A and B are shown apart, each in its own frame.
Chain A
Amino acid sequence: MKKIVLIGNPNVGKSVLFSRLTGVRVLVSNYPGTTVEFLEGYVNIDGEQMKILDLPGTYSLEPNAPAEEVAVKMIEEADLVINVVDATNLERNLYLTMTLLEQRRPMIIALNMFDDIKHRGISIDVAKLEDLLGVSVAPTSGITGLGIKQLKERLVEAKPGQFDRGTHQERWQKIGDIIDKVQQLSHRHHTLFEILEDASVNHAWGVAIAIFIIAFSFKTVRFLGEGLIKYVLEPFFQLVYKPVLESFSIYLQNKPFLHNILLGRMIDNNIDFEKSMGLLTTAPYIEFVIVLPYIFAFYLLLSFLEDIGYMPRLALLLDNIMHRLGLHGFAIIPILLGFGCNVPGIIATRILESKRERFIASTIISIGVPCAALQAMIFGMLGKFGARYVIAVYLVLFSVWLFLGAALNRLLKGYSPELFIEIPPYRWPDFKLLFKKMFLRIKGFVVDALPIVLLSVLIINLLQQIELFESISQFFAPLLNKVFGLPKEAAWALIVGFLRKDIAVGMLIPLKLTVKQMMIACVVLSMSFPCVATFIIFLKELGPRRLFQAVLITLSITFLGGATMNFFLH
């Protein structure tokens, strides 16, 4: 089968174009032996099925980073190259085009965002551009679908570039000549989007906007999450699901063991979704009613901020702080992802350049970043006492990452690379693509979490039956009492925390803790051992030695943090 490669700078609308070309069947793959991911789909050209690969955005073909090395190899293997060029930023985009033309592979150019140039006061002479570059140029717009059909039809015109390999000065010289001949700029007024764009990178306005956006996102996640729980999921579980379970309970009357495993213990002759600890009661309740609504709301907001182009601005604003932690501003992206679930957060640290940065970021994520599951529980449990307690927990965790990052930055050999990123213009997201991405993220979360939730509930259920709880609690009693000021029964919650944090907090509910104890328990739970899924991904991504170091750090920080809170809080 023929292979087509889609390549272009980041933020040129390549993914949207890719999904326009391929439709539904899309696969995420890794280039063999690397962590570089690309998308794979199929396109039908004149009855011939062809494979089409969407490479990560790149500015050049010089092997500075793994993504670029992969790009070079894939271009060599490709039968046809489609270079996606942002028409609103022609000059800079042509640099990659030049280096591609030097590769002399059959190639065609998709001049994307072509519908966007007029109101930016740009006009491009496409025929002349084709003439000067020596390959076909098809104007397209991924967002509106303009020119996609023509692009497909014109793939047969693809031919190798005729440029000789040059230095970057020589390339820029040629680009300068081409731009002079094909592009004209006229003066026009700034649009609202552009005014906001400039404001959001300004040192004063930018910070104000960032605070507003973060506060707004927080509120929205809570509003959506709580709304879904209160008006959709809780009623569904109580009114539809519970009656089903109740008739099932009658059916299981004579099979007490099975009843206990599936439905759990009856509390006051009733199924109690929070306490029964059955595979069909507490497990789906915690996963789908308490946690999933927040996961949904969080990924909706995050995907929106990503697709509209806000993230690089946040990276710029936070670069200063992140530098003290041995990272640069861009590291905020994996960290933010970690607030959904630590697992994709740690995977996303792949965008950072060095092993050192990846270790610092991953450790910060697994210790100081509570995942949405845990946050849902923190909101639910601590929120009742007042918002200030929730805020206090977040502040403690935030100071932990500052302290921890600064310490790691001092202790680890090496230096932190510098921020160097493009800040793309704001663009209204393609909602179809956004929802697809969100759906994949939520699906990933459910698929990863559900088996472990079931397993943890099963283990707790069995242990309750053989009454092992008491002796273990007794063993940990001195540590919990003296150091953290928690009752000995909390031992089990902390142990279960290794499996699932949300279930662990759920186990604290019946203990009737004071506000102080609750705050300590929440902080200790989120800092102590990462959950088993995070543990595994940490091992996979960074190796056993790094994992061991992270666990040691985790245990000491938890001990210190919990004890300090117990000592100072009243």
Chain B
Amino acid sequence: MKKITLVQMKTGAKGRIVQLEGGPAFESRLSAMGVRIDKHIVKLSAFVLQGPVAIRSGNTVLALGYGMASKIWVELIKK
């Protein structure tokens, strides 16, 4: 299965997080807010010109900067 980053994902697409590429501190910060390997997420929106990305993970909606979003890799889940 091909993996892509949150940035490359299309708005509305669903995915499973497979890799976090930013070191342990980055991982634990994300983890505390529920973003972790194997978690299913939906991309809600993205903003132009390297703007932030919004995702839904469980019942939580999160906003992440472009840089952070490009370090989170997902595998798309087909409907």
Interface size on B, residues (CB 8 A): 33
Check A316 against B34 for contact (C-beta < 8 Å).
no
Knowing A203-B46, A316-B54, A423-B54 are in contact, say whether A62-B59 is a contact too (CB < 8 A): no
CB-CB contacts of B35-61 with A at 8 A, as 1s and 0s?
011000000111111111010011111
Across the interface, name the chain A residue whose C-beta is closest to B69.
A418
A89 on interface, CB distance cutoff 8 Å: yes
B32 on interface, CB distance cutoff 8 Å: yes
Residues of A close to B11: CB separation below 8 A: 203
Q: Could you tell me the distance between the alpha carbons of A422 and B64 in the complex, rounded to whole angstroms?
A: 9
Question: Restricting to B49-79, which residues have a CB under 8 Å from any CB of A?
Answer: 49-52, 54, 57-68
Question: Restricting to A406-440, which residues have a CB under 8 Å from any CB of B?
Answer: 417-425
Residues of A close to B66: CB separation below 8 A: 418
Interface stretch, picked from A90-98, A230-238, A337-345, is A90-98
Check A420 against B49 for contact (C-beta < 8 Å).
no
A471 on interface, CB distance cutoff 8 Å: no
Interface size on A, residues (CB 8 A): 38
A482 on interface, CB distance cutoff 8 Å: no
- Closest Cβ of chain B to A184, distance in Å, is 14
**Chain A contact residues: helix, strand, loop or mixed:** helix
A561 on interface, CB distance cutoff 8 Å: no
Residues of A close to B57: CB separation below 8 A: 92
Check B65 against A418 for contact (C-beta < 8 Å).
yes
- Closest Cβ of chain B to A301, distance in Å, is 23
Knowing A95-B34, A316-B54 are in contact, say whether A89-B61 is a contact too (CB < 8 A): no
Check A420 against B64 for contact (C-beta < 8 Å).
yes
A64 partner, pick from B25, B46, B50, beta carbons under 8 A: B25
Check B36 against A172 for contact (C-beta < 8 Å).
yes
Across the interface, name the chain A residue whose C-beta is closest to B57.
A92
Across the interface, name the chain A residue whose C-beta is closest to B30.
A420
Check B44 against A201 for contact (C-beta < 8 Å).
yes
CB-CB contacts of A310-325 with B at 8 A, as 1s and 0s?
0010011101100100
Check B32 against A316 for contact (C-beta < 8 Å).
no
Q: Could you tell me the distance between the alpha carbons of A64 and B23 in the complex, rounded to whole angstroms?
A: 14
Q: Could you tell me the distance between the alpha carbons of A149 and B11 in the complex, rounded to whole angstroms?
A: 45
Q: Residues of B with Cβ closer than 8 Å to A?
A: 11, 25, 27-29, 31-34, 36-37, 44-52, 54, 57-68
For the complex of A and B, 9 pairs with smallest distance between CB atoms: A418-B65, A60-B32, A92-B34, A320-B51, A59-B32, A423-B61, A316-B63, A168-B31, A419-B65
Q: Residues of A with Cβ closer than 8 Å to B?
A: 59-60, 62, 64, 88-89, 91-92, 95-96, 120, 168-169, 172, 197-198, 201-203, 206, 312, 315-317, 319-320, 323, 328-329, 417-425
